[in-house]
Structure 1
Amino acid sequence: MEPSHLRRLTLRQIQIFLAICRHESHSRAAEELALTQPAVSAQVRNLEELVGEPLFDYLGKQLYLTPAGQALRRAGQELLQRLGHLEMELAELRGVISGALSLAVESSAQYFLPAELAAFCRQHPAVTADMQVMNHDQVLKGLLENRHELVVMGRVPEDRSLRFIPFRDNHLLAVCAPDNPLRHGPPLSLVALAEQPLLVREPGSGTRGILEEHCQAQGIRLGERHQFGSLEALKGAVAAGLGVAVLPEDACRRALAAGHLAALPVEGFPLRRSWCLVHRRARHLSAVAEALIKHLLATP
Structure 2
Amino acid sequence: KRIFLTHAGEELYQHARVIARQLKDAREALESLREGISGRLDIAIISTAKYFAPTLLSRFCVLYPAVQLKLSVSNRAGIVRQLHHNEVDLVIMGQPPQEMGVVMEPFARNAHIIVAPPTHPLAAEKTVEVADLAGEDFLLREKGSGTRQLLERFLLAHGVEIHPRMEMSSNETIKQATIAGMGIAFLSEHSVTLELETKRLKILPVVGLPIIRDWNLVHHRDKRLSPVARAFKAFLLEQAPHMLPVVGERGMIA
Question: TM-score with structure 1 length normalisation?
Answer: 0.73
* Distance across 2 between alignment mates of 1:279 and 1:138: 14
Cα-to-partner distance string for 1:229-281 (whole Å, 9 max, x where unaligned):
21111111000000000111110101111222111121111111111111122
Which of 136, 142, 161 lines up with 1:202 in the alignment? 142
- Per-residue CA deviation, residues 36-78 of structure 1 (Å, 9 max, x unaligned), is xxxxxxxxxxxxxxxxxxxxx63xxxxx752376456434433
Match of 1:267 in 2: 207
Q: Which secondary structure does the structure 2 equivalent of 1:169 belong to?
A: strand
2:65 counterpart (125, 131, 149) = 125
2:101 corresponds to which of 136, 149, 161: 161
Equivalent position to 1:151, from 58, 77, 91: 91
- Which of 160, 176, 185 does residue 125 from structure 2 map onto? 185
Q: Aligned partners of 2:16, 2:39: CA distance in 1, in Å? A: 18
Aligned-partner residue type, residue 178 of structure 2: V
Query: For residue 292 of structure 1, what is the amino acid of its counterpart?
Result: F
Alignment CA distance shift 1:219-1:282 (3 Å): farther
Q: 1:283 aligns with which of 223, 228, 231?
A: 223
Aligned length: 239
Shift of 1:101: 1.4
Matches within 5 A, 1:64-143: 66-67=5-6, 70-71=10-11, 73-94=13-34, 96-143=36-83
Letter in 2 for 1:161: G
Are the aligned partners of 2:25 and 2:224 in contact in 1 as well (CA < 8 Å)? no
CA shift at 1:282, angstroms? 2.4
Structure 2 counterpart of 1:258: 198
Question: What is the alpha-carbon root mean square deviation over aligned residues?
Answer: 2.0
Structure (1 or 2) with the larger CA radius of gyration: 1
CA contact (8 A) 1:84 1:100 kept: no
Pairwise CA distance, 1:298? 0.3
In the alignment, what sits opposite 2:249?
none
- SS, match of residue 276 in structure 1: strand
Instruction: Give the whole-Å Cα distance in 2 for the aligned partners of 1:231 and 1:209.
Output: 15
Cα separation, 1, equivalents of 2:159 and 2:21: 46
Q: Which runs of 5+ in 1 are unaligned?
A: 1-56, 59-63
Structure 1 residues 283-292 or 92-101, which shifts more?
Answer: 92-101
Q: CA deviation at 1:220?
A: 3.3
Provide the secondary structure at the position in 2 that maps to 1:195. coil
2: CA distance between counterparts of 1:271 and 1:165? Answer: 19
Task: Report the AA paired with residue 128 of structure 1.
Answer: Q
Q: What amino acid does structure 2 have at the position aligned with 1:107?
A: S
Q: Write 1 or 2 for the structure with the bigger share of helix.
A: 1
* Per-residue deviation, residues 134-173 of structure 1 (Å, max 9, x unmatched): 1112111210121222211112332361122110110111
Counterpart secondary structure, 1:289: helix
1:182 is displaced (CA, Å) by 1.3
The DSSP-based 3-state class of the residue aligned with 1:132 is strand
Report the Cα distance in structure 2 between the residues aligned to 1:197 and 1:219, rounded to whole angstroms.
16
Query: How many angstroms apart in 2 are the aligned matches of 1:273 and 1:191?
Result: 23
Distance 1:204 1:103 in 2: 22
Unmatched 5+ residue regions in structure 2? 243-254
